[in-house]
Amino acid sequence: MIKVLLVDDHMLVRVGLIEVIETHGGMKVVADVANGEEALVAYESHRPDVVVMDFRMPGESGADTTRRLIERHPDAKVLILSVYEGEEDVGRAVQSGARGYLSKGVDTADLLDAITSLAEDRPYFPARIAQKIRKRDERGRLTEREMTTLELLVQGMSNKEISQELSISVATVKLHISNILEKMEVSDRTQAAIAAVQRGVVHLDD
């Protein structure tokens, strides 16, 4: 009997998951929680074989929660479930130690298949996802400073505003942005902003 822990802030998705998983003989949902904090607690008290975790949640992200979970329990098997498939999201999930990544659009068979794989200690990354992970690795990674600059850029700030915000000269901001454009393989700031959102490098909050 595979014991599963669900972590998702959407009640409807949790209910759907429970229904699908419980209907399948051989799996059982031992607990379902709505955020990262509760996830850690639930993990320790239920010791599930597999954790099915939403990627984007209010508060702590799925990637952060996964990282913290795996720090304490290196053998925890986390399957990330997400509506989004941006390269950066996927890449961060992998980096955090997740053993699988699934779109929320999955059908029943694939979902059960993924959970079974993880329970048997095999990773589960569909071809399209694996493709994105490679794509992300090919591109140069942004440094911390470049990342901060990109975030401000996505907030719509001009070079001057960014320079004031970070207390550096406009020249430096321009250099950072120049590097960002090159690494992201785009040719101007607007494209960088859009690409950042699309790839999941920066998340827009409503």
Partner DNA sequence: TAGACCATTGGCCATCTGGACAGTCCTCTT
Partner DNA sequence: AAGAGGACTGTCCAGATGGCCAATGGTCTA
| Binding residue for a second copy, selected from 27, 70, 154, 180, defined by CB under 8 A | 154
* Closest listed residue to residue 4, CA positions, set 53, 50, 55: 50
| Residue number with CB closer to DNA (30 or 170) | 170
Other C-beta atoms within 10 Å of 8: how many? 25
* Closest listed residue to residue 35, CA positions, set 52, 17, 12, 58: 58
106 is a site residue for a second copy (CB under 8 A): yes
* Closest listed residue to residue 166, CA positions, set 188, 142, 182, 150: 150
Select from 60-68, 112-120, 164-172, 197-205 the region that touches a second copy (CB under 8 A).
Answer: 197-205
CB of 156 to DNA, least distance (A): 9
Instruction: Using alpha carbons only, give the angle 37, 91, 89 rounded to the nearest 5 degrees.
Output: 60
127 is a site residue for a second copy (CB under 8 A): no
Letters for 166-195 (x = contact with DNA by CB under 7 A, - = none) are: x-xx-xx-xxxxx--xx----xxxx-----
What's the gap between Cα 167 and its chain centre? Answer: 31
Q: Tell me the number of residues near DNA by CB under 7 A.
A: 24
Contact 86, 200 (CB under 8 A): yes
What's the gap between Cα 130 and its chain centre? Answer: 14
* Binding residues for DNA (CB under 7 A): 143-146, 158-160, 163, 166, 168-169, 171-172, 174-178, 181-182, 187-190
Site residues (vs a second copy, CB under 8 A): 9-20, 83-86, 104-108, 111, 153-156, 158, 186-191, 193-195, 197-198, 204, 206
